[in-house]
Amino acid sequence: MTTTDLLLSAGRGPQECAWAVARLATRLESAAARHSLRTRRVSAVPGDRPGTYRSVVVRIAGAGAAELAAAWTGTLCWQAPSPYRPGHARKNWYVTARPVPAAPAVVPAFAEADVDVVGCRTGGPGGQHRNKASTAARATHRPSGTVVVVDTERQFTLNRRLALDLLRRRLADHAEAATRSATTARWRLHDDLVRGDPIRTERPDARTVTAPRPPRKRSV
């Protein structure tokens, strides 16, 4: 199944932009439904006002998800009077929409059943016992392919226990690093808002105005 995550962000805009994010996310979901696509909000950062969002990530799933996301990628405009500042002259509130990498898959809970532990010999100092006996432990986590070797103890059972503990910590560190990297990449997009020249303008009366896209260059 084809899926695309689309980030809608108010950037550092005023509270009306967070209001616009909420309206545009709903409008995007309605457009997806008309194309028989499924949507789900996989993450959201609430705004200061009830029902508003500084950002929201909408996952679009189904055939044509990438095409719909492409049609909504760029600067979007919600055109309506401010609900918070009556009489305010401005009516155009800009939001950025960008595809973002999918969140990293959830790492399954560590289970010894997923680990192969075998004895092995290691070189280096340690005397005859270390050279002749397979006291080191090599632990391989099959789902991820992560391998650790522990040879600090003279008994295989102790090295085995230490190898499992080390493998558990290493997998947790990898999962945390992947989540942190994905979160950082998404947050960097929040400041990448270009105001003006929206690729589409949405209004409360459900009217949509789309800007013509530049023609594709043909290869010679």
Most confident of 57-66, 133-142, 209-218: 57-66
Whole-model pTM: value is 0.65
**Domain ranges within the chain, ordered by starting residue:** 3-105+190-210, 112-180
Residue with tokens 């003279």: 154
Mean pLDDT of 17-43: 96
Q: Which residues have C-beta within 8 Å of that of residue 157, sequence separation ≥ 6? A: none
Q: How would residue 219 be classed by pLDDT, with cut points 50, 70 and 90?
A: very low
Inter-residue contact 113 to 103 (CB < 8 Å) = no
Query: Distance between CA 29 and CA 215 in Å, rounded?
Result: 27
Mean pLDDT of 112-136: 73
Q: From the options 3.30.160.20, 3.30.1490.20, 3.40.190.10, 2.70.98.40, give the CATH code of 112-180.
A: 3.30.160.20
3-class DSSP assignment, residue 50: coil
Closest CA to 139 of 114, 175, 176, 173: 114
Q: Is the pLDDT of residue 53 over 50?
A: yes
The phi and psi torsions of 115 (rounded to 5 degrees) equal: -120, 135
Q: How would residue 213 be classed by pLDDT, with cut points 50, 70 and 90?
A: low
Can you name the CATH fold of 3-105+190-210?
Answer: Alpha-Beta Plaits (3.30.70)
